[in-house]
């Protein structure tokens, strides 16, 4: 395995058997694993060790997963990708997790292969995103220039469209809720009842219409995400 594909993962999970199984699965692939059995210690480790990805259980003693995620987002000096684990495939749990800043979600029980694949995607994407340029499939965003292109072709975006695209790209492969996007873009001063609608339309015209495959996907009942096209 290429050393660039090795991630440092922090597992915060109170179930000993599950924690051991996950750690073994990561270590078998050569990844570096730290773990914590409760929320407060997990948050401390996440802030100190700067893992490439945190696997965070929702139900934890001490401080629950939503609160750990919220505090990590508020207090850490950099973005640490979080994959949240939940026992139920509940929309409420999902929305709560995304609102707290989780990047991705996995419902128990899950296949270890899927956990590894998602964590690798998050960890590698995280490192790819620490510079000025973000690359997702054929999409390239230059955060220093504030510009985006697809297949090398510059996208003609208005400021709000660019900001929506950047939010989605920084969250990739995760999904952002409608309310998260609205809050990130307009804060408390939301201009009208459905401000995203026209901006998403214009963004799709620029990002997707000239190309064979669409990258901006609506996740019904949850929000929006980008899908890599190659």
Tokens of 196: 């995203």
Write down the least CB distance from residue 23 to Ca ion, Å. 15
Tokens of 164: 């929506």
Instruction: Give the range of 12-20, 91-99, 104-112, 157-165 binding Ca ion by CB under 5 A.
Output: 12-20
Looking at the Cβ atoms of 57 and 93, the one nearer to Ca ion is 57
Instruction: Give the range of 6-14, 91-99, 178-186, 217-225 binding Ca ion by CB under 5 A.
Output: 6-14
Helix (H) or strand (E) holding 224: strand 223-226
Smallest CA-to-CA distance from 184 within 157, 202, 166, 208 is with 166
Instruction: Give the range of 8-16, 94-102, 150-158, 189-197 binding Ca ion by CB under 5 A.
Output: 8-16
Does position 93 interact with Ca ion (CB under 5 A)? The reply is no
| Start-to-end Cα distance in the chain | 22
Does position 137 interact with Ca ion (CB under 5 A)? The reply is no
Tokens of 210: 């000239």
Looking at the Cβ atoms of 86 and 175, the one nearer to Ca ion is 86
Query: Which x/- pattern, by CB under 5 A, does the window 42-61 give for Ca ion?
Result: ---------------x-x--
134-137 contacts at long range (C-beta below 8 A, 24 or more positions apart): 134/166, 134/169, 134/170, 136/169, 136/172, 136/215, 136/226, 136/228, 137/215, 137/227, 137/228, 137/229, 137/230
Residue number closest to Ca ion, CB atom: 59
Q: Give residues in contact with Ca ion (CB under 5 A).
A: 14, 57, 59
């Amino acid at each position: 395995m290429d050393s660039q594909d090795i991630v440092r993962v922090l597992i915060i999970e109170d179930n000993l058997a599950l924690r051991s199984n996950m750690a073994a699965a990561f270590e078998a692939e050569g990844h570096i694993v730290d773990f914590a059995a409760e929320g407060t210690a997990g948050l401390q480790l996440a802030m100190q060790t700067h893992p490439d990805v945190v696997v965070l259980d929702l139900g934890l003693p001490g401080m629950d997963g939503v609160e750990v995620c919220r505090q990590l987002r508020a207090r850490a000096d950099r973005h640490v990708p979080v994959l949240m684990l939940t026992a139920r495939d509940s929309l409420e749990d999902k929305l709560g997790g995304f609102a707290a800043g989780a990047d991705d979600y996995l419902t128990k029980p899950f296949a270890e292969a899927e956990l590894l694949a998602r964590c690798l995607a998050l960890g590698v994407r995280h490192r790819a995103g620490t510079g000025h340029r973000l690359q997702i499939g054929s999409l390239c965003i230059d955060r220093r220039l504030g510009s985006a292109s697809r297949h090398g072709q510059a996208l003609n975006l208005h400021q709000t469209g660019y900001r929506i695209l950047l939010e989605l790209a920084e969250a990739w492969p995760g999904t952002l809720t409608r309310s998260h996007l609205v809050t990130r873009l307009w804060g408390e001063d939301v201009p009208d009842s459905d401000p995203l609608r026209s901006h998403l339309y214009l963004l799709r015209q620029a990002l997707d219409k000239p190309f064979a495959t669409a990258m901006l996907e609506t996740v019904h009942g949850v929000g929006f995400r980008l899908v890599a096209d190659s």
